[in-house]
Chain A
Amino acid sequence: MYVFVYGTLKRGFINNWLLTESYYICPTRTNEEYLMVNLNYFPGVLELENDEYIDLGEPKSKISGELYKVDNRTISTLDKFEEPFFYRKRTYLENGVEAWMYFLKNEYYNDDSNRKIENGFWR
């Protein structure tokens, strides 16, 4: 099972230790374009589809991150770690792999004060 991470779970960031038992594969990007926002200490990526209250004029971009191979235990640790703010969904990456990715729930998105990360790369 693959997971694609784009924030504090990446190598060199504070929560990467959660992936110590996982296998790092490579840096890559998503095929789809999404909205990435900066939430001070971490980023969030939002799916803009199926949502009536977010303006589709938001700057979307391919999201840059890292691909890991993980086991069931790690993915359930990550699920617990990301709740209740994020949900997990499959997405296709530029290298052809389909991986799990964590998206910010729309209810936690606040258009007024979020800083958008227009190039889809958080660091």
Chain B
Amino acid sequence: MIIKDSYDVVVVGAGPAGATAANYAAKKGVSVLLIDRKKDIGVPLQCGGFLPGFSVLEELVPNAELPYTLKEFPANCINATTSYQRFIAPDGYSKGFEVTGYALDRKRFDKYLVHEAASSDAHVLIGTSVTSVDGKVLKCEGVFGNFSVNAKVIVGADGPSSFIGRNAGLVLEHDPMDIATALEYELMGVNIDEPSVEMYFGKDYVPGGYAWIIPQGNNSANIGIGIRRPMCKKGMSYRDYLNHFMEKHPIASKKLKGSTIVSVIGGLVPVGGAPSRTVSGNVILAGDAAGHLIATNGGGISTAMLGGKIAGETAAEFVQNKIPLNEYEIRWRQQMGIEIKTAVYTRKLMDNLMKSDTMVSAAFKMISSEHMKAIQCGKLPNTVRSNLLKLNKGM
């Protein structure tokens, strides 16, 4: 493929946000280049790959127009379908609700999204890093050589430590409590027979976060922990915590006993919400780079894709002189800003309680299944809010 000297829109990062941005920008008829430093789209994985069903997503962001790629994707992108979500409190008490979800094969799914972008006439360049950005000029180097490219708009969809964002002065919060670290294993030979996603809590296993088990079908599963460094014990590494969960957790270890680790995955999860601005000059951010995720569960595939769609459309309309680029800020906040903010607030109410297993267990007993589902959808019902405040302040 011949890379042009100049594009209307250059998207940096070909994850769900970037690929969707490139797709929607290209659909509007502007020229688009999608760059990713990875040599193989979707590899290495940095995510558990859990995607709630489309109807749940409509509940999650009722004001949004979701990208079609969240609804129509090839069946072979799905490893397994789950029908229940269960929460296991530190004292073993559990509660849950019925909900459809997909354990995605992210390598296939991400490639599908990139292919969709290419089908809309976006140019795709993998194995290429952006080494510097100066106004409209991006310097790139990688497996296809070193070159410069001009962009009218740059979409930074390059993850939680976004280079594009930092370069443009758009940074996420630096509070260490606002960054969770996820470490995951792909396991084969697990002992799981029900199609349930499970979330385990308890400070000895997952300080300031939770552990999950996502069944992947054929006796395989993705397990992982998302925890926060300031709440970890000294001398305990992330791997120690995940191993401890896998081998020692009274409930989970029974299901995971005798399984084999076939893959290790790691990543950062920015749970502090969006930066104060996601537009600066000709740069806009989407996905993890823009804090587009639900902080209570760290889920971000759908919100990243929504952010990407809005970024792509807005970038194209800006290029076509229809709107100012700042419109992006307004649009994405209208469609999912409140849910992202609410989830950060809920997360902060839980942070304090997470220092004590008793308090987390109490909170779980107090919250009804329906309300748990609502919290997963970026809502915070009033009764839950006032009861969490009580647990935080004391009665």
- What is A's interface to B at a CB cutoff of 8 Å? 7-8, 13-15, 39-42, 81-82, 84-86, 102, 107-108, 110, 112-114
B362 at the interface (CB under 8 A from A): yes
Report the separation of the CA atoms of residues A117 and B252 in the bound assembly, to the nearest whole angstrom. Answer: 32
A8 touches B394 (CB 8 A): yes
Q: Binary interface profile of B, 366-395, with partner A (CB < 8 Å = 1, else 0)?
A: 100000000000000000000100111111
Q: Is the CB–CB distance between B362 and A81 below 8 Å?
A: no
Known: A15-B395, A42-B395, A107-B365. A85 touches B390 (CB 8 A): yes
Contact of A110 (CB < 8 Å), options: B91, B355, B387 = B91
B359 within 8 A of partner (CB): yes
Contact at B91–A8, with CB atoms within 8 Å? no
Neighbouring A residues of B390 by C-beta, 8 Å: 81, 85
CB of B356, distance to nearest CB on chain A (Å): 5
Q: Would you call the interface of chain A mostly helix, strand, loop, or mixed?
A: loop
Number of residues from B at the complex interface, CB < 8 A: 18
Assembly CA distance A108 to B390 (angstroms): 14
Q: Is the CB of B355 within 8 A of A112?
A: no
Show 26 residue pairs from A and B whose CB-CB distance is below 8 angstroms, ordered by the A residue: A7-B394, A8-B393, A8-B394, A8-B395, A14-B394, A15-B393, A15-B395, A39-B359, A39-B394, A40-B356, A40-B358, A40-B394, A41-B394, A42-B394, A81-B395, A84-B387, A85-B395, A102-B395, A107-B365, A108-B358, A108-B365, A110-B90, A110-B91, A110-B361, A112-B357, A113-B356
Q: How many angstroms between the C-alpha atoms of A114 and B359 in the bound complex?
A: 9
Kindly list chain B residues whose C-beta atoms are within 8 Å of the C-beta of A82: 395
Q: Is the CB of B393 within 8 A of A110?
A: no
State in angstroms the CA–CA spacing of A38 and B358 once bound together.
10
Instruction: Report the Cα distance A19→B317, complex, angstroms.
Output: 60
When distances are taken between beta carbons in the complex, the residues of chain A under 8 Å from B358 are: 39-40, 108, 110, 112-114
B208 to chain A, nearest CB (A): 15
Minimum distance in angstroms from A3 CB to a CB of chain B: 14
B366 x A85 contact (CB < 8 A)? yes
B366 interface neighbour in A39, A42, A84, Cβ under 8 Å: A84
Contact B356 A85, beta carbon cutoff 8 Å: no
Q: Which of B357, B366, B387 contacts A113 (CB 8 A)?
A: B357
